[in-house]
């Protein structure tokens, strides 16, 4: 057998193996047809190596009972949802004109995401990192029983050290401390950074850790949630991670504009439930019953209705994306969106276009500077499409905009961790608080209007003047948008 025959044989074997891998990993998984074709192209043009790329970036999670709930636990959750549908939902929705107006959305969130409705909440809004973290540290320092904390990014810088030391002090004082972080998001932070906390009795878990911190087969499926629950009576939820840049101390980004909520009321229990599921999954264990965690049982004096809606690759349904679409299609007057990335799918774009064609004032605020160049130029491509339909696109110029909010008709709003992109829609674990309260919605609406004062408008004329090079970058980035 000559060299040519050997090469031909190797190529034939490679093609056969590649085809078998292609069939095995793609056609036996349920996925969006667009993603299927994308991976077919990868594996055709990069034989064998494409399979290994798929292992790192393309695999779906096993969605059946991802959180390893027992039959009893699943029945308890279903019973709570049924109780809401038969009693709480009926009583609250029928008594409140605003809840009645958004009854279909509340019902959808209940059925789709087990998002229970609570109506006794108080909310404080933070749009500045210094105020948010000063409040958070003070609440941690006052903790008496338990602190549960979860962030996508925890940096080992001054702010990260300040937070760790506050948690360590509480752990030394006998407070139960549990900290969960995402390893890919916190890749710059070495595990030994938390040694003092562990030595004090605090527990630390990593979500989807890497193999020897070098290889991670879940690069695309990250836990992007940012939650803190203190003594079962105070919770924080929103867009801020932990690091000096979130205090505006990074020269590259300057001032960091984000939005976070401090919540008191029954919604805290629902946020706690999200943490518990992630905590048990990260630790790969089921230590005891759920009631080992602190739940504050005193009735709160608030009056704000909230649902805590979560979404992730553990579910076929894109709960948070659907919630946003439902909100947009319910709008009569206005839809104000703030997001660092705007790379929606067709269904989201169609919802925005329908709202615009219906005469709704749709405004989308994005950063004027990129933190990820491809993502930034893909964002420009998509907002450019909406300009033709009458959308107002604002470019935030007072630093970096990282807020993830939507306000509809100045009466209902959502604040959380979801960006407007495919990664947040179905790859990452995300969470948002949807608030049915005109006062809160007007506050967030007002913050948007205040941010307009330090923003410029991307008009159709300005967009048409962009250079050929920018158009080229937009085209390439848009082509890559499904995997950005």
Sequential pLDDT tens for the chain (484 residues): 577 666 666 666 666 666 666 666 555 555 556 566 666 666 666 666 666 666 556 556 666 778 888 888 888 888 988 888 887 667 777 778 999 899 999 999 999 999 999 999 999 999 999 999 999 999 999 999 999 999 999 999 999 999 999 999 999 999 999 999 999 899 899 999 999 999 999 999 999 887 666 666 566 788 999 999 999 999 999 999 999 999 999 988 999 999 999 999 999 999 999 999 999 988 766 555 555 677 766 666 799 999 999 999 888 889 999 999 999 999 999 999 999 999 998 999 999 999 999 999 999 999 987 666 667 778 888 888 999 999 999 999 999 999 999 999 999 999 999 999 888 998 899 999 999 999 999 999 999 999 999 999 999 998 888 777 777 666 666 665 655 5
Nearest to 430 by CA among 162, 168, 224: 224
Nearest to 152 by CA among 404, 435, 413: 404
pLDDT at 1: 59
pLDDT at 132: 98
pLDDT at 94: 72
* Residue 338 contacts residue 448 (beta carbons within 8 Å): yes
- Point out the catalytic residue in the list 102, 132, 176, 226: 226
> 409 an active-site residue?
yes
What's the rounded Cα separation, in Å, for the pair 162 and 169?
11
- Point out the catalytic residue in the list 224, 269, 353, 392: 224
- Point out the catalytic residue in the list 269, 402, 445, 473: 402
What's the rounded Cα separation, in Å, for the pair 73 and 303?
29
Token pair 């695309």 is found at 220
- Point out the catalytic residue in the list 114, 127, 139, 231: 231
Q: Which two tokens stand for residue 92?
A: 């609250």
> 250 an active-site residue?
no
Write the CA distances from 51 to 17, 21, 26, integer angstroms.
10, 7, 10
> 445 an active-site residue?
no
Nearest to 379 by CA among 359, 362, 395: 395
Residues 6+ apart with CB under 8 A from 228: 136, 140, 147, 148, 149, 150, 235, 236
> 127 an active-site residue?
no
What's the rounded Cα separation, in Å, for the pair 243 and 231?
24
* Residue 115 contacts residue 85 (beta carbons within 8 Å): no
- Point out the catalytic residue in the list 127, 258, 409, 437: 409
Where do runs of H (alpha helix) occur along 96-128? 97-101, 103-113
> 224 an active-site residue?
yes
Supply the DSSP string of 290-334, one letter for each residue: GGGS----SPP---EEEEEEEE-TTSSS-HHHHHHHHHHHH-SSE
* Residue 418 contacts residue 320 (beta carbons within 8 Å): yes
Q: Between helices 373-387 and 346-357, what is the axis angle to 10°?
A: 30
> 231 an active-site residue?
yes
């Amino acid at each position: 057998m000559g060299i040519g025959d050997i090469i031909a044989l190797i190529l034939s074997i490679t093609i056969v193996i590649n085809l078998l891998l292609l069939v095995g990993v793609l056609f036996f998984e349920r996925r969006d047809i667009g993603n299927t074709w994308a991976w077919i192209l990868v594996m055709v043009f990069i034989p064998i190596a494409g399979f290994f790329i798929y292992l790192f970036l393309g695999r779906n999670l096993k969605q059946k009972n991802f959180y390893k709930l027992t039959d009893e636990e699943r029945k308890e959750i279903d019973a709570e949802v049924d109780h809401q549908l038969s009693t709480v939902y009926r009583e609250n929705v029928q008594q409140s004109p605003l809840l009645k107006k958004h009854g279909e959305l509340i019902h959808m969130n209940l059925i789709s995401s087990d998002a229970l409705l609570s109506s006794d909440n108080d909310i404080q809004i933070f749009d500045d990192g210094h105020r948010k973290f000063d409040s958070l540290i003070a609440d941690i320092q006052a903790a008496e029983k338990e602190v549960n904390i979860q962030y996508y990014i925890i940096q080992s810088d001054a702010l990260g050290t300040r937070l760790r030391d506050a948690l360590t002090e509480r752990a030394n004082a006998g407070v139960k401390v549990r900290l969960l972080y995402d390893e890919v998001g916190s890749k710059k932070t070495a595990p030994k950074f938390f040694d003092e906390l562990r030595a004090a009795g605090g527990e630390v878990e990593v979500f989807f850790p890497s193999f020897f911190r070098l290889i991670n087969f879940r690069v695309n499926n990250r836990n992007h949630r940012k939650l803190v629950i203190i003594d079962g009576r105070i919770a924080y939820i929103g867009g801020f991670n932990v690091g000096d840049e979130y205090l505006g101390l990074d020269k590259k980004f300057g001032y960091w504009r984000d939005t976070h909520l401090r919540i008191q009321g029954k919604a805290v229990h629902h946020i706690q439930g999200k943490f518990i599921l992630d905590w048990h999954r990260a630790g790969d264990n089921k230590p005891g019953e759920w009631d080992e965690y602190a739940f504050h049982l005193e009735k709160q004096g608030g009056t704000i209705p909230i649902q805590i809606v979560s979404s992730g690759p553990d579910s076929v349904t894109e709960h948070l994306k659907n919630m946003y679409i439902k909100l947009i299609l319910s709008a009569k007057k206005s839809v104000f969106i703030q997001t660092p990335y705007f790379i929606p799918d067709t269904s989201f774009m169609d919802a925005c276009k329908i709202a615009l064609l219906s005469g709704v004032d749709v405004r989308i605020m994005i950063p004027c500077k990129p933190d990820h160049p491809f993502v930034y130029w893909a964002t420009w491509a998509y907002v450019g499409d909406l300009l033709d339909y009458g959308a107002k696109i604002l470019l935030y110029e007072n630093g970096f905009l990282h807020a993830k909010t939507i306000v509809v008709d100045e009466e209902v709003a959502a604040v959380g961790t979801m960006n407007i992109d495919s990664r947040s829609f179905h790859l990452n674990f995300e969470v948002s608080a949807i608030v049915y309260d005109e006062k809160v919605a007007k506050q967030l609406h007002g913050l948007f209007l205040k941010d307009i004062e330090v923003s410029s408008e991307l008009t159709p004329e300005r967009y048409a003047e962009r250079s050929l090079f920018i158009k080229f970058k937009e085209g390439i980035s848009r082509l890559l948008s499904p995997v950005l």
